[in-house]
Structure 1
Amino acid sequence: MSEAFERAMAAFEPAQRPLAVGFSGGADSTALLAACASRWPGQVVAFHVHHGLQAAADDFERHCGEVCARLGVPLVVHRVDARHAPGDSPEDTARRARYEAFGAMARMDPTRPFIQLIALGHHADDQVETLLLALSRGAGLPGLAAMPAHAERNGLNIYRPLLTVPAADIRAWLAARDLPWIEDPSNGDARYTRNRIRAVLLPALEQAFPQFRATFARSIGHAAQAQQLLLELAAQDLEAVGNPPLIKALQALSRARQANVLRHWLMQSHGCAPSAAQLDQLLDQVRACTTRGHRIHLKVAGGFAERKGDRLHWYNAPPSPKT
């Protein structure tokens, strides 16, 4: 039952070595680390993030040390404060802290060749959970595209070679090799939406649509391709309307293209993303801006969009009340 895992690992050809493997001690990262260490002995490093969120975190670290010693793989540990602020998602906060830690670990040891690539153990079930979570939040194409097989973040090339492999296949591969792993107690916490999806929806999908992982993966691929096309169009439109955007040039575009280019402009130039309601308000104001004295001043993400002269600007804090 581990053929999918074997095929995925055979197809994984990292562009650089040495490479790191994000290693939590769970089944998925354990299998990925063991397979990589066997294929490229002496060229693999395990990166473990100590989140400090559970009493068992120290036990996780000790377990990872024991597994790495058995596999002959160096272990690098980075401790983070992953506590979330009021109103923030604990899962999103922990995820951001984890990726920042991966970037820090890649640069922290001057005696080791600089690591530019990290492999993560996200698998087909994780990908389905990500899609369903995005749907539950009313996400657009970026959310429906779920997790990419390759991305760049915090100076690292991130690869996810197991996105086509079911979780059960990974555990079968581990069991055949008598490799131990740990189960994170928080995975059973029903307060987290992802855990409820895993416990309730995935078994129901397995019963109703046994091939759902493969068919969902195709839909994810279509969404990712469509999102790439939108990004390319947004880049072309931003070059045409200018940065910051010329309001008259924006008005010459359809509302859908205005929304696309404004999202792109805000993310590329200011690192922020408007809510759907904020973007709708901004589009309404752009459409209504037909007189010289029309004022635009709207809360957008963590700042404000404002008209200055004939262009649209964005500020981190409220600017002076001039138009």
Structure 2
Amino acid sequence: MTQSLDAAMRGFQPALPLAVGLSGGADSTALLLACARQWPGQVVAFHVNHGLQAAAATFEQHCQALCAGLNVPLHIQKVDASARDGQSPEDAARIARYKAFSALARMETAQPAIQSIAIAQHADDQVETLLLALSRGAGLAGLSAMPARWQRDGIDYHRPLLAVSAADIRLWLAEQGATFVDDPTNTDENFTRNRIRARLLPALQAAFPQFRDTFARSASHAAQAQALLDEVAQQDWSGVCADGDSQPRIKQVQLLSRARQANLLRHWLKLTYQVIPSTAQLEELLDQVAACTTRGHRIHIKVGQGFVQRNGPGLAWYNP
């Protein structure tokens, strides 16, 4: 169920000290203000300057003024978030941002060290993420949308406002008399997420007023199903790999059903190489595994930025 910001914060119990990712926009401004009030002296702010737009200096100035008023230490990291070939600007910015958060957490001199980082994504962001996944034909991992809590580089990340709507956050800020910076790119409909926000969310609100709750429930069901598939993959993994080996043995893979082969190979590529195959790539790989019945059969299929190939009795991925 969607919540008020105050209710969401009452249920948020991170390990302290806590860092808040602060962009200067409405959502992160509200989160920092709420966290600083709830845990005075235990909160710092991390601001990442992506260097992608002229307004970046304005964001930074707002963050400096806000943190000075709250007596919250602010740490700023400038990054190069330029997209590489085949990478979306959003993906490039997200990757650069999380690398910066990890670097800032290691640099923070507070004792004890930063234990948790809070991100201000909210219920509308969750709906947009789910709709983006649907538009791309995503599987269960994509349809799970964003988790409320996860771990990265040994740090606990939290999204405490994931059940709070964007409108409720702005209403709460107005009640506090707090100011924030509007990102001009948020209205640029060249970005798919912005088109969803501007065109689809109002239509959903009119047709299905409870869509934030029902969509979140669907994402939760998908996440639970994905967790079960991960457990199955782990069980299958022990049967297709020799002890200490990271290469699935082809003959053992062939003993599984095609659905379990797909689940296992997707799990192997993501876990071992941080590679996610497209549907077409995975289908081709499964066909080649099924056809691999002779010693001389060759497997060489592009997956991600590299290739899966046969390596003796097993499969390996490499990036030339």
Q: 1:26 is matched by which residue type in structure 2?
A: G
> Out of 272, 281, 286, which is 1:283 matched to?
286
**Ranges of 4+ aligned residues in structure 1 off by more than 4 Å:** none
**Contact 1:51-1:81 at 8 Å conserved across structures:** yes
1:43 corresponds to? 42
Q: What is the count of residue pairs matched by the alignment?
A: 315
- Within 5 Å, give how 1:154-193 maps onto structure 2: 154-193=153-192
Equivalent-residue separation in structure 2 for 1:5 and 1:108 (angstroms): 30
Instruction: Give the aligned partner of residue 294 of structure 1.
Output: 297
Aligned to 1:270: 273
Shift of 1:3: 6.0
The answer on whether the counterparts of 1:297 and 1:306 sit within 8 Å (CA) in structure 2 is: yes
| Pair 1:313-2:313 in alignment | no
Tell me which of 252, 256, 263 is aligned to 1:253: 256
Q: CA deviation at 1:83?
A: 1.4
| Residues 1:199 and 2:211 are matched in the alignment | no
Q: Over residues 264-305 of structure 1, what are the superposed CA-to-partner deviations in whole Å (9 max), with x where a residue is unaligned?
A: 111112221211111111100111111222221222222221
Partner of 1:11: 11
- Please give the alpha-carbon distance, in whole angstroms, between the structure 1 residues aligned to 2:76 and 2:142: 30
Which AA in structure 2 matches 1:71? L
What TM-score does the superposition give when structure 1 sets the normalisation length?
0.95
The secondary structure found in structure 1 opposite 2:48 is strand
**Kept after mapping to 2: 8 A contact 1:99/1:154:** no
Which residue of structure 1 lines up, in the alignment, with residue 112 of structure 2? 113
Deviations 1:240-286 (A, max 9, x none): 11131111111110101001100111111222121111111110011
Per-residue CA deviations over 1:189-233 (Å, capped at 9, x if unaligned) read: 010000000000000000000000000010000000001011111
Residues 18-97 of structure 1 aligned to structure 2 (within 5 Å): 18-97=17-96
The answer for unaligned runs of 5 or more in structure 2 is none
1:235 — aligned with what? 234
| Superposition deviation, residue 102 in structure 1 | 0.5
Deviation at 1:113, TM superposition (A): 3.5
Q: Does 1:208 align with 2:211?
A: no
Q: Secondary structure at the match of 2:106?
A: helix
Q: Which deviates more from structure 2 when the two are superposed, residues 81-90 or residues 17-26?
A: 81-90
The root-mean-square deviation of aligned C-alpha atoms, in Å, is 1.3
Q: Which structure 1 segments of 5+ residues have no match?
A: 318-323
- CA 1:87–1:311: 2 relative to 1, 3 Å: closer
TM-score, length basis structure 2: 0.96
**CA distance in 2 between partners of 1:85 and 1:302 (Å):** 12
| Residue of structure 2 in register with 1:304 after alignment | 307
- Most deviating of 213-222 and 105-114: 105-114
Q: Is the 8 A contact 1:100 1:154 kept in 2?
A: no
Residue type matched to 1:285 in 2?
Q
Partner letter of residue 8 of structure 2?
Answer: A
Distance 2:82 2:298 in 1: 40
Q: Which amino acid letter does the alignment assign opposite residue 192 of structure 2?
A: T
For 1:293, the aligned partner's letter is: G
